Amino acid sequence: MRKPTNRATARAPRAMSLVQEVTSALAADPRFDYQTLPMQVVEHDGHVGLVGWVPELRQKKWIEQVVMDLVGPANLESCLVVGPPHQRPDDELVRAVQDSLMEDRSIDSTSIQVACVNGVVRLSGIVDTVLHRRLAAALPWWIPGVRGVVDALAVIYPEPENDELLVEAIQTVMEKDPLVDRTELLVLSHSGIVTLLGTVGGDDARSAAENDAWVVEGVRDVVNQIEVAPGGAHLGHIDAI
């Protein structure tokens, strides 16, 4: 009788390395041209790192979501930033963010500290609610030269994350955007996937509304179904449901 072997069963080798799998997934995504982006995918101890920069915030979010879907959120370490480097000095950006927070009367800016390194703004301190935290983290994105926002704000009265709070935050940001008439738009969210509906008068307003959604923390994707029509801002208001 043949004696049993103690040799462990060998695993089949991976067809591709983890980096190859990620880059293949990014290259196959039609929303951006991965090959032309000044970014790199690296691997360390089973974790995937993203380094470099992309022209738009939504591209950063798309890329990060593709990688998270592939390796899981816990295995992604993203250092992607938005926009080319050295657009504005860090101290100038700090002052601009501080002014923006002070001008917003719904936020107690005296409890927020602002720092900036290489165009990436870091917010620390305390705010009252999740809505205030999301709004504080959204405002810096409107300042030219800001390449990223790190939200280290603590919330005094935290609430469980849900789509209703996310929609409220997006609507609040839109109300502060002079390019967007929030009453013309309907904002829906399901598990962080936001859908925008309505009619606006131009492409600038349509793009601004989408950007307002992307700057809110917790948004996983934005489906922009806003239609553009001359005089769209006068076709009638949409009531939220």
Per-residue model confidence as pLDDT tens digits over 6-59: 544 444 455 679 999 999 999 999 999 999 999 999 998 889 999 999 999 999
CATH topology of domain 90-155: Histidine-containing Protein; Chain: A; (3.30.1340)
Characterize 166-192 residue by residue with b for buried, 16 or more Cβ atoms within 10 angstroms of its Cβ, and e for exposed: bbbbbbbbbebbeebbbbbbbbbbeee
Residues 171, 45: Cα–Cα separation, whole Å: 41
Please state which CATH number belongs to domain 18-82.
Answer: 3.30.1340
Q: Which CATH number is correct for 163-234, 1.10.10.10, 3.30.70.580, 3.40.1390.10, 3.30.1340.30?
A: 3.30.1340.30
As annotated, the residues of the chain forming the CATH 3.30.1340.30 domain(s) are 90-155, 163-234
Q: pLDDT higher for 9 or 214?
A: 214
Rg of the chain (C-alpha set): 21
Is 106 or 238 the better-scoring residue by pLDDT?
106
pTM of the full predicted structure?
Answer: 0.84
Give residues with Cβ within 8 angstroms of 103, minimum separation 6: none
Confirm if 63 and 80 have CB atoms less than 8 A apart.
yes
Distance CA 184, CA 38 (A): 37
CA distances from 132 to 35, 108, 144, 188 (A): 38, 9, 22, 20
Q: In this predicted structure, what is the pLDDT of residue 14?
A: 56
Per the rule left: phi > 0, alpha: psi between -120 and 50, beta: everything else, 186 is beta
Indicate if the pLDDT at residue 232 is higher than 70. no
